[in-house]
C-alpha cells in the first residue's frame, strides 16, 4: 500500500502539465490516463459518496456534514469532505483552516486534486469550495479526461466521500446529489424549510432515472423536543411516500444547543469542542445510524454508475 500511495502521488503531480493547454500527443495522453487508472485501481469496495443537502440555506447543513466527518474519522475511516457550496466556503470557516487551493482551482485545471486537499481536524481531508464552474463547458476533451481521472483518485484514498452541497434546487446541486449513494436532507421545523426540503426531494426524483436515485435520509435540526422532530419526519415522509412513491429514511434530530452556537463562533466542530453536549451526542448517533462503521459498504449494482467520474461528466455537459 505504501508503494501504491507513492505511485499515486507521482502520477497526480504529473497531471498538472496535462491540464494546461499544451499540444501533447494523443498517445501520451492515453498512456498517462492508463497509468492513473491502473494505479488508482484497488481491490477494496469503492468509497461511499454521501451528499449533505437542504432545500434552503441557514438550516445547519454544513455543521451536520463536518461533524459526521469528524465522527467517522474517530472510527478510523478515511474521510474526504468536498465543499461544493461554491463561493461561500463554509467548511473552511467552521474548521478554522485557511486552504491554499479550492474546488474551482481543480475544476479549472489550475492544480491537482491531491495538491488542493487540505488537512482539517482529526485528519479529515477537505476540498474548499470556490468559483470556476462557468468555464467547465469550454474545457477540451483532454482536460475533461484528466478531471475525471483526478476525481477517481479520491476513490483510491477515501472510505467515505461527503459532499456538502449548496442549498436549493440548482442544476449543480442536483448533479452532486445524483452522484451520491446517500442524500441527507437537513431541515428545521420551520414550515418554509419543510416545504423547500420537499421541493428538493421532488426535483431530484424527477431528474433521476430509476438507477440514479440515492437513498434519501432526513435530519431535523434545531428541534425543541424529540417529538417535534418525529412530527416533521412523519409529515415529510408521508407526503414523499404518497405523492412521490419515495421512501424517506430518518437519521434523527438535533436540538437547538447553545454549545453548537459557541463552537461555530470559535470556528471549531461542536463534536470536538463540546463532545458531551446534547447536539454532539445527537450528531454521533446520526453518524452511527448513517453508516455501520464495523462493516465495509457493499454497493448495490446501480451504484456502479454513480460516483465522482459521472459527476464531472454531468458538470461538463458530456
How many CB atoms neighbour CB 211 within 10 A?
12
Q: For residue 47, give the DSSP letter.
A: P
Asked if the model's pLDDT at residue 263 lies above 80, the reply is: yes
The SS3 call for residue 15 is helix
The residues, any chain, with a CB within 8 Å of residue 40's CB and separated by 6 or more, are 8, 149, 152, 153, 155, 156
Quote the CA–CA distance of 202 and 259 in Å, as a whole number.
34
Q: What is the pLDDT of residue 26?
A: 38
The SS3 call for residue 158 is coil
Mean pLDDT of 53-79: 95
Q: Specify the higher pLDDT residue, 69 or 17.
A: 69
How many CB atoms neighbour CB 69 within 10 A?
31
Mean pLDDT of 161-173: 89
| Predicted model pTM | 0.80
The residues, any chain, with a CB within 8 Å of residue 173's CB and separated by 6 or more, are 53, 165, 166, 167, 200
Q: What is the pLDDT of residue 10?
A: 54
Average pLDDT, the chain: 79
Are 62 and 142 spatial neighbours (Cβ–Cβ below 8 Å)?
no
CATH number for the domain whose boundaries are 2-36+47-315:
3.40.50.300
Alpha helices for 86-190 (secondary structure H) = 90-95, 103-107, 113-116, 141-157, 171-178
β-pairing verdict for 125-127 and 48-54? unpaired
284, three cell numbers: 454521533
Amino acid at each position: 500500500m505504501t508503494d501504491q500511495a507513492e505511485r499515486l502521488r507521482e502520477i497526480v503531480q504529473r497531471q498538472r502539465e496535462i491540464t494546461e493547454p499544451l499540444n501533447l500527443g494523443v498517445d501520451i495522453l492515453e498512456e498517462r490516463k492508463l497509468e492513473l487508472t491502473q494505479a488508482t485501481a484497488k481491490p477494496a469496495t469503492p468509497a461511499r459518496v454521501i451528499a449533505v443537502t437542504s432545500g434552503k440555506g441557514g438550516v445547519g447543513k454544513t455543521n451536520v456534514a463536518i461533524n459526521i466527518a469528524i465522527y467517522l474519522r474517530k472510527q478510523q475511516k478515511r474521510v474526504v469532505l468536498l465543499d461544493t457550496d461554491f463561493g461561500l466556503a463554509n467548511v473552511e470557516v467552521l474548521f478554522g483552516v485557511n486552504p491554499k487551493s479550492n474546488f474551482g482551482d481543480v475544476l479549472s485545471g489550475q492544480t491537482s486534486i491531491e495538491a488542493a486537499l487540505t488537512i482539517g481536524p482529526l485528519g479529515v481531508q477537505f476540498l474548499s469550495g470556490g468559483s470556476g464552474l462557468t468555464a467547465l463547458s469550454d474545457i477540451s476533451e483532454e482536460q475533461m479526461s484528466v478531471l475525471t481521472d483526478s476525481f477517481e483518485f479520491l476513490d483510491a484514498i477515501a472510505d467515505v466521500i461527503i459532499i456538502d452541497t449548496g442549498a436549493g434546487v440548482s442544476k449543480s446541486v442536483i448533479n452532486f446529489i445524483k452522484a451520491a449513494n446517500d442524500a441527507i436532507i437537513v431541515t428545521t421545523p420551520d414550515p418554509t424549510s419543510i416545504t423547500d426540503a420537499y421541493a428538493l426531494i421532488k426535483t431530484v426524483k424527477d431528474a433521476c432515472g430509476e438507477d440514479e436515485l440515492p437513498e434519501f435520509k432526513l435530519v431535523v435540526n434545531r428541534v425543541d423536543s424529540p417529538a417535534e422532530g418525529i412530527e416533521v419526519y412523519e409529515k415529510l415522509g408521508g407526503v414523499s411516500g404518497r405523492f412521490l412513491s419515495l421512501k424517506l429514511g430518518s437519521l434523527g434530530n438535533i436540538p437547538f444547543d447553545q454549545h453548537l452556537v459557541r463552537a461555530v463562533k470559535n470556528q471549531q466542530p461542536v463534536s470536538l469542542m463540546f463532545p458531551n453536549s446534547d447536539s454532539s451526542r445527537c450528531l454521533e448517533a446520526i453518524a452511527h445510524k448513517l453508516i455501520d462503521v464495523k462493516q465495509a459498504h457493499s454497493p448495490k449494482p446501480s451504484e456502479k454508475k454513480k460516483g465522482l467520474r459521472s459527476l464531472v461528466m454531468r458538470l461538463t455537459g458530456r
